[in-house]
Structure 1
């Protein structure tokens, strides 16, 4: 089989944390559509019509596709973490912070003990400081993202009137590193490498192991969005000037949620996200139309509007209060659910299917 997908339809590209619009969790797509590159406006099987184009329930499909259909359930997951950011953050404390702070303690002990091993302790501190600094520079602005989706449906297509129920949920979580410690760590390395330290307060002025507020200022920000829907799809076939058309509508309830948490790079725990939830539920609507262009009923075109009613919520960033400073207050991020207009075409051959979808509305990713 050959499938063609035009435009990034559901799973979107880059993610930057700013007080601007952010396209939230992607629409759920079933496993068959995912294998086809995400197309479905004119090519989805009837069991998945509620997720792409409700009109497909009543379009005059071939007999092999005209029967009761179910998804129980369909699950998908997509991850993007080229820098292996999650592993780096999870292991950051053991791999970099503890050896670095241990080197500071060794310098302090050598000063208190007369300084016999001070030169070696300072060299170790300089090396550990450089390793920490290099790692933070390496992961600065790096991002990781995971998209998850699950859907269930039970639909009865018909050559005249089709109907059915569908439920789906999708979620996206993304994390980004913001590096803010280069000047401090450069000064500390210079101090340890080029000066004989006789007073540990000189080190503490740059990094104090006993005071959270005087430690790392680099941060991890994690933002999550979740989109769920439950709806009823209905479609009717009618003839207009001798040509058959199918019109479909899916009234549904939609729930949109957002999560946002900021903390120091060595303190991040994904469980902290749950406490920052912001949510809104609203009635919404999908619309669709589909029709064959040829008498052999092989070339099908479709048009759908997903989420006719726009929704928007703004995150309320939670934060770790220990060492980010009292004035640190990141702006919330707008999570938007905009109407999406999609056009599709498919050609069903004897042993293959060609399909392409085109998004007609602009999708902003910032």
Structure 2
């Protein structure tokens, strides 16, 4: 008996196997440890993932930097949906063998109703960046990829009345992007303060996949991502601004994927989904002290990755980083969901730079109901 959790993981892993040579468009490990902030608090190395204007935020001694690679993953399985689907499929087999058992019929209906409007979702990210800061135009080269898998269940009331699966179904959809681009940022003087403007033009490849089947026969052995996924290429860009309100306070504003893109998936059992990549606007503020950083980011609009699904996200984030003589960093964060389709999350991370030039960052994500994730990256400064 196959599980829905395994099925959702199959979608995400299939995409990752395709795009692992690329990278991550969601976030870097430092940001993950700090609750996902970065629009006002990213450094010159991680600016391409958050706000291209911050590519100017290098120290005087920074001449070259690299992140290679950053890898992260997150999964949510609220209420052990995979176990409940397995239990229902077992009951369905028993009912097929004993169709006139009233007690079994009642158990079957209760188990089916328990699956209505449930979900499993997950993200996979891989990334890298090469940064060359300078006084003329700070420049980063980045490659990033992000895949999101969403599996939902929909129960039809007519099936409950007839003790037979006709329309109740499970659907797994996946959408992902692979970005290859450059970040260019320049610092100006505005009202006696530093104003940085940045842009990241990028080649973008979109990938999408859809699999739907009746809830009693949903099986990941039927997944055929390698031949059934669809893709298309496009041009996109991220833009941003960062303003030093004072010596320690930075304001940030970013717009990612300013050109909206859309991609229809393959057709599965007569069903098709639409993967949308729309502009995401975020405002932020950060207080940067030599020994610590406190930052807050707020999404100004929601993100709805699949047109036919109600699922959408919008977050407010807060993060903290304490620095110990640039040799080690402790990070904490909190992510508040502004929609009913995601939960609040706690994050924590550490950074280690024992030799100054080379560093390792690790971060973890935790939330209620089996919502967890992890991220790691290698960092080089010269």
Q: TM-score, normalised by structure 1?
A: 0.69
The structure whose Rg is larger is 1
Which of 94, 105, 115 matches 1:129? 105
- 1:101 matches 2:96: yes
Q: TM-score, normalised by structure 2?
A: 0.66
- 1:333 matches 2:284: no
- 1:300 matches 2:250: yes
Q: Secondary structure at the match of 2:223?
A: helix
Q: Structure 1 residues 178, 362: CA separation in 2 closer, same or farther (over 3 Å shift)?
A: closer
Task: Write the deviation string for residues 84-130 of structure 1: whole angstroms up to 9, x where unpaired.
Answer: 2233335643x2232222324xxxxxxxxxxxxxxxxx5xx323222
Distance (whole Å) between structure 2 residues aligned to residue 244 and residue 350 of structure 1: 18
1:169 Cα deviation (Å)? 1.0
Superposed CA RMSD: 2.4
Which of 161, 166, 169 matches 1:183? 161
1:255 Cα deviation (Å)? 1.4
Q: Structure 1 residues 159, 343: CA separation in 2 closer, same or farther (over 3 Å shift)?
A: farther
- 1:280 matches 2:232: yes
Q: Which residue of structure 1 aligns with residue 131 of structure 2?
A: 155
1:28 Cα deviation (Å)? 1.1
Distance (whole Å) between structure 2 residues aligned to residue 160 and residue 356 of structure 1: 29
Q: Secondary structure at the match of 2:95?
A: helix
Task: Write the deviation string for residues 199-226 of structure 1: whole angstroms up to 9, x where unpaired.
Answer: xxxxxxxx6xxxxxxx554211111111
1:291 Cα deviation (Å)? 2.8
Distance (whole Å) between structure 2 residues aligned to residue 252 and residue 177 of structure 1: 36
Q: Secondary structure at the match of 1:44?
A: coil
Give the gaps of 5 or more residues in structure 1. 1-25, 105-121, 186-206, 208-214, 320-328
Q: Which residue of structure 2 aligns with residue 258 of structure 1?
A: 208
Q: Which residue of structure 2 aligns with residue 311 of structure 1?
A: 261
Q: Structure 1 residues 184, 241: CA separation in 2 closer, same or farther (over 3 Å shift)?
A: closer
Q: Structure 1 residues 170, 90: CA separation in 2 closer, same or farther (over 3 Å shift)?
A: farther
- 1:166 matches 2:142: yes
Higher relative contact order (CA 8 A, sep 6+): 1
Contact persistence 1:154–1:166 (CA under 8 A): yes
Give the gaps of 5 or more residues in structure 2. 1-23, 311-382
1:47 Cα deviation (Å)? 1.6
Which of 39, 42, 45 matches 1:41? 39
Aligned length: 279
Runs of 4+ that moved beyond 6 A: none
Q: Structure 1 residues 340, 276: CA separation in 2 closer, same or farther (over 3 Å shift)?
A: same
Which of 108, 117, 121 matches 1:145? 121
Q: Which residue of structure 2 aligns with residue 290 of structure 1?
A: 242
Q: Which residue of structure 2 aligns with residue 347 of structure 1?
A: 287
Q: Which residue of structure 2 aligns with residue 220 of structure 1?
A: 170
